[in-house]
Amino acid sequence: MSYPLKVLVVKAHPDEAEMYAGGTTRRLADRGVAVKYLSLTNGDAGHYKMEREPLKRRRAREAYAAARHLGVVDYEILDIHDGELMPDLAVRTAVISSIRRWQADIVITFHDDCPGHLDNRAAGRAVRDASDFCTNGNICPEVPPLAQAPICLKMIDYGALNVHKHDIVIDVGTSIEAKLRACAAHATQFFEFTPHERGVISEAPQTGDWPAERAFILKYWPEFMYSLPAMSGGFEFAESFELADYGRRTSAEEVLKLFAL
């Protein structure tokens, strides 16, 4: 099948692409773009009660369910422990291989140089380091190199709120319901682990009560659901991306033209 564009979102944990870029990737999928999510860890530390092995399996099921809401074509989860991600040679090789196999035109990932979760920073660093080798056939020779380096974008997360540049702002008002349902599919994170960490577990809705689930996510994750004040455009729901200083050189105008949203 021929696609107008191929996008790869590389994150550290199974729920993050949905939260930080789900609205944009759903809009892209709706116009025929092939979107893949790559999680560099299996998320097996993200709970206050479940042990690693059953949690890993449950989070994978949640991820695949979320993908259906967003039109994501492929969802790859590396079997690396949550909390133990390092931007080492093995991870870099896995990222190079994934970018090449997907033949990604655009790669979206985290900032690698700001506060926040160490796994998130390591994921961003792995993409930064991998980007220079995507066209070099002597590196990872088992996977054919790309003809040109992909464009790389940084997505926001809680640690990047104060450093992120809103170079590209996407109105996700038409895809916010799909994004919220994809987030809700990650019940371990949105209705169990994070509410427990924040001390609001008593307010968490019963799974399956969609109006209550929707309201709960909008209440406790507003900075990633509603448009931030720093964004331009006046959109109620928006997602923001920063042009990376690595990968193929480009401009916000070119990216918006490629997105065609």
Condensed to tens digits (0 to 9), the pLDDT of residues 21-37 reads 999 999 999 999 999 99
Q: How far apart are CA 64 and CA 216, in angstroms?
A: 22
Contacts of 198 (CB under 8 A, 6+ apart): 220
The CATH code of domain 6-259 reads 3.40.50.10320
Condensed to tens digits (0 to 9), the pLDDT of residues 107-147 reads 999 999 999 999 999 999 999 999 999 999 999 999 999 99
Residue 206: its pLDDT value, please? 87
Facing residues of 7 across strands? 35, 106
In order along the chain (261 residues), what is the average pLDDT of each group of 10 residues? 92 98 98 98 98 98 98 98 98 98 98 97 98 97 98 97 96 98 98 98 93 98 94 92 98 97 93
Residue 232: its pLDDT value, please? 76
Q: Contact, 100 vs 134, CB < 8 A?
A: yes
Q: How far apart are CA 151 and CA 159, in angstroms?
A: 23
Amino acid at 248: R
Q: How far apart are CA 87 and CA 98, in angstroms?
A: 15
- What region does 104 belong to: left with phi over 0, alpha with psi -120 to 50, or beta? beta
Residue 207: its pLDDT value, please? 81
Q: How far apart are CA 14 and CA 38, in angstroms?
A: 8
Give, in order, the Cα–Cα distances in Å from 228 to each of 159, 182, 237, 258.
Answer: 15, 21, 9, 24
